[in-house]
C-alpha cells in the first residue's frame, strides 16, 4: 500500500513540511531509513540521524528545531511516537481486513457468520458457537462448542479455544495459545495416586484484551477464570484455574499465576514472576522480574522485588549488604584468627 505525506498528515492531524506528494510504501527505523519509507523521531538520542536518514518522510514533534538542512519531508505532530503508533495500528487493520470462509473450514450448522468475518483454512468451529461482526479466525484454529467471540476480535493461526469460552470485543489472541484447558486439579489418594477433579467451569475474557503466543489460560474448576478488560499478556504465560486478572493489568513473559489468585487493577508484572495460589494483589501493584509472591500484597501501589518479594527500596538496601558478605566474612575470619592467637 502506498501513501503520500499529505495522506499521512491527515491521518495523524499533522502538518507537512516539504513535499506533500512524496510517496511511501513501507516503514523504517530512522537510523536505517531508505527511500520510499516512513520513519519517526521522538527520542532526542536519535536526533543526529534526522540529518543522515534517507527515509522519505519522518514524523517529528511540533517543537523539533533542525540545526541543519533535512532532506526528508517532515510531518509535525503533537506527539510523534503516538502518531507513529496510530499509523501502525491503521496499517495493521488494513492488512487484516480479510473476509469470507475458506472451503476447507469446518463449521457448525447453526453458525451463520456475518459477511465481515474471516474464517481461514482448516479452522474447526463446533456447534453452538456464535461470532460477532468482523471476527477474524486464521488457519488451523479450533473453537469449541458453545463459545462466543464478540466483534472485531482476531484469533491468529493455531489457537485452541475450548468449549464455553467467552471472548469480548476488540481482543487479539496470538498463535499457539490455548484457552479453556483443564485446570490442574488432582485429589491425592491414600495409595499415593491422584484422582482428577473435573473442571466444569469456563474462561471469560472481557473487551480489549491481548494475549501473546503460547499462553495457557485454564478453565475454572467451578465458575469462571476471568481476564478483565484491557489486560495485556505477553508470550508464554500460565494462568491457572479460577484466577481473576484485574482491568488494564500488563504481564510480561514466562509469568505463572497459581489457582484462585486474584490480581488487582492496573498491576504490572515483570518477566518470570511467580504467584502462589489463593492470594490477592491490590490495585496499582508493580512486581519486578523473577519475583516470587507467596502471600497477598494488600498495599495499593506497592512495588516489590525478590523471592520472596518485598518492598523494592528495602530490597535494594539488602542487595548492597548481600554483595558485601564476602568482605564481611573475610573480616570475621581475621578477627577470629587474632582472638585465637591472643589466647
Helix (H, G, I), strand (E, B) or coil at 271: coil
Per-residue pLDDT at 169 exceeds 80: yes
Task: Average the pLDDT over 268-295 and give the result.
Answer: 97
Which run of H or E residues covers position 275? strand 274-275
Residue 241 lies in a domain: yes
Domain with residue 50: its CATH number is 3.40.1390.10
Per-residue pLDDT at 214 exceeds 90: yes
Pair (207, 250) in one structural domain: yes
Cell matching residue 194: 491422584
Domains in the chain: how many in total?
2
Pair (210, 137) in one structural domain: yes
Distance CA 207, CA 232 (A): 11
Task: Average the pLDDT over 233-262 and give the result.
Answer: 98
Q: Which of 46, 74, 95 is the last residue of a domain?
A: 95
Residue 326 lies in a domain: no
Residue 323 lies in a domain: no
Q: How confident is the model at residue 96 (pLDDT cuts 50, 70, 90)?
A: low
pLDDT score at 340: 84
pLDDT score at 7: 93
The domain of 50 spans 3-95
CB of 99 within 8 A of CB of 119?
Answer: no
Distance CA 318, CA 304 (A): 13
pLDDT score at 49: 95
- Could you tell me whether strands 250-251 and 268-269 are parallel, antiparallel, or unpaired per DSSP bridges? parallel
Rg, C-alpha atoms of the chain: 27
Among residues 140, 148, 174, 241, the one annotated as catalytic is 241
CB of 36 within 8 A of CB of 24?
Answer: yes
- Of the candidates 212, 9, 306, which has an alpha carbon nearest to the alpha carbon of residue 314? 306
pTM: 0.81
Task: Average the pLDDT over 117-141 and give the result.
Answer: 98
Pair (165, 240) in one structural domain: yes
- Cα-based torsion angle of the residue sequence 163, 95, 16, 27 in order, rounded to the nearest 10 degrees: 100
Distance CA 276, CA 261 (A): 7
**Backbone angles phi and psi of 333, in degrees to 5:** -60, -40
Per-residue pLDDT at 334 exceeds 90: no
- Could you tell me whether strands 178-181 and 160-161 are parallel, antiparallel, or unpaired per DSSP bridges? parallel
Per-residue pLDDT at 95 exceeds 90: no
Pair (160, 294) in one structural domain: yes
Q: How confident is the model at residue 28 (pLDDT cuts 50, 70, 90)?
A: very high
Q: What is the mean pLDDT of the chain?
A: 94
Pair (62, 149) in one structural domain: no
Per-residue pLDDT tens digits for 65-85: 999 999 999 999 999 999 999
Sign of the alpha-carbon torsion through 180, 181, 184, 186: positive
pLDDT score at 318: 85
Domain with residue 141: its CATH number is 2.160.10.10
Residue 325 lies in a domain: no
- Cα-based torsion angle of the residue sequence 147, 150, 154, 160 in order, rounded to the nearest 10 degrees: -10
Task: Average the pLDDT over 33-53 and give the result.
Answer: 94
Residue 331 lies in a domain: no
Per-residue pLDDT tens digits for 304-328: 999 999 898 888 888 888 888 888 8
Q: Is 278 a catalytic residue?
A: no
Pair (69, 121) in one structural domain: no
Pair (48, 134) in one structural domain: no
Pair (138, 245) in one structural domain: yes
Per-residue pLDDT at 112 exceeds 80: yes
Q: Which of 77, 95, 113 is the last residue of a domain?
A: 95
Residue 329 lies in a domain: no
Residue 333 lies in a domain: no
Q: Pick left, alpha or beta for residue 332 (phi over 0 → left; psi -120 to 50 → alpha; otherwise beta).
A: alpha
Q: Which of 65, 95, 125 is the last residue of a domain?
A: 95
Pair (87, 123) in one structural domain: no
Range name among 111-120, 272-281, 322-331 with the lowest pLDDT average: 322-331
Per-residue pLDDT at 30 exceeds 70: yes
Per-residue pLDDT at 94 exceeds 90: no
Q: In what order do the strands lie in the sheet with 100-101?
A: 100-101, 118-119, 136-137, 154-155, 172-173, 210-211, 232-233, 250-251, 268-269, 286-287, 303-306, 309-311
Residue 332 lies in a domain: no
pLDDT score at 313: 85
- Cell 487493577 locates to 265
Taking CA atoms, 246 is separated from 202, 235, 282, in Å, by 17, 18, 10
Per-residue pLDDT at 117 exceeds 90: yes
Pair (114, 245) in one structural domain: yes
Pair (149, 255) in one structural domain: yes
Instruction: Express as a percent the part of the chain with pLDDT over 70.
Output: 99
**Backbone angles phi and psi of 40, in degrees to 5:** -145, 155
Pair (38, 148) in one structural domain: no
Amino acid at each position: 500500500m502506498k501513501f503520500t505525506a499529505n495522506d499521512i498528515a491527515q491521518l495523524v492531524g499533522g502538518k507537512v513540511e516539504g513535499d506533500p506528494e512524496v510517496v511511501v510504501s513501507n516503514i523504517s527505523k530512522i537510523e536505517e531509513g531508505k527511500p520510499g519509507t516512513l520513519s519517526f523521531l521522538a527520542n532526542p538520542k536519535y536526533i543526529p540521524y534526522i540529518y543522515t536518514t534517507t527515509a522519505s518522510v519522518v514524523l517529528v514533534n511540533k517543537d523539533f528545531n533542525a540545526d541543519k538542512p533535512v532532506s526528508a519531508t517532515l510531518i509535525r505532530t503533537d506527539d510523534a511516537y503516538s502518531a507513529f503508533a496510530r499509523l501502525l495500528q491503521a496499517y495493521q487493520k488494513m492488512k487484516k481486513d480479510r473476509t469470507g470462509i475458506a472451503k476447507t473450514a469446518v463449521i457448525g450448522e447453526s453458525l451463520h457468520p456475518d459477511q465481515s468475518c474471516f474464517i481461514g483454512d482448516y479452522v474447526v468451529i463446533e456447534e453452538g458457537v456464535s461470532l460477532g461482526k468482523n471476527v477474524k479466525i486464521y488457519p488451523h484454529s479450533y473453537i469449541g462448542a458453545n463459545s462466543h467471540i464478540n466483534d472485531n476480535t482476531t484469533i491468529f493461526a493455531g489457537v485452541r479455544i475450548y468449549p464455553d469460552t467467552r471472548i469480548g470485543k476488540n481482543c487479539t489472541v496470538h498463535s499457539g495459545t490455548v484457552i479453556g484447558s483443564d485446570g490442574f486439579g488432582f485429589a491425592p489418594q491414600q495409595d499415593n495416586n491422584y484422582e482428577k477433579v473435573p473442571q466444569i467451569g469456563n474462561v471469560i475474557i472481557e473487551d480489549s484484551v491481548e494475549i501473546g503466543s503460547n499462553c495457557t489460560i485454564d478453565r475454572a474448576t467451578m465458575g469462571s477464570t476471568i481476564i478483565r478488560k484491557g489486560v495485556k499478556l505477553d508470550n508464554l504465560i500460565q494462568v491457572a484455574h479460577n484466577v481473576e486478572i484485574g482491568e488494564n493489568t500488563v504481564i510480561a513473559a514466562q509469568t505463572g499465576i497459581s489457582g484462585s489468585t486474584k490480581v488487582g487493577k492496573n498491576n504490572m508484572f515483570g518477566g518470570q514472576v511467580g504467584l502462589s495460589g489463593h492470594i490477592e494483589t491490590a490495585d496499582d501493584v508493580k512486581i519486578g522480574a523473577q519475583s516470587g509472591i507467596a502471600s497477598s500484597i494488600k498495599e495499593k501501589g506497592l512495588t516489590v522485588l525478590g523471592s520472596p518479594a518485598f518492598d523494592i527500596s528495602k530490597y535494594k538496601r539488602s542487595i548492597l549488604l548481600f554483595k558485601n558478605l564476602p568482605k564481611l566474612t573475610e573480616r570475621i575470619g581475621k578477627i577470629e584468627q587474632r582472638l585465637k592467637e591472643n589466647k
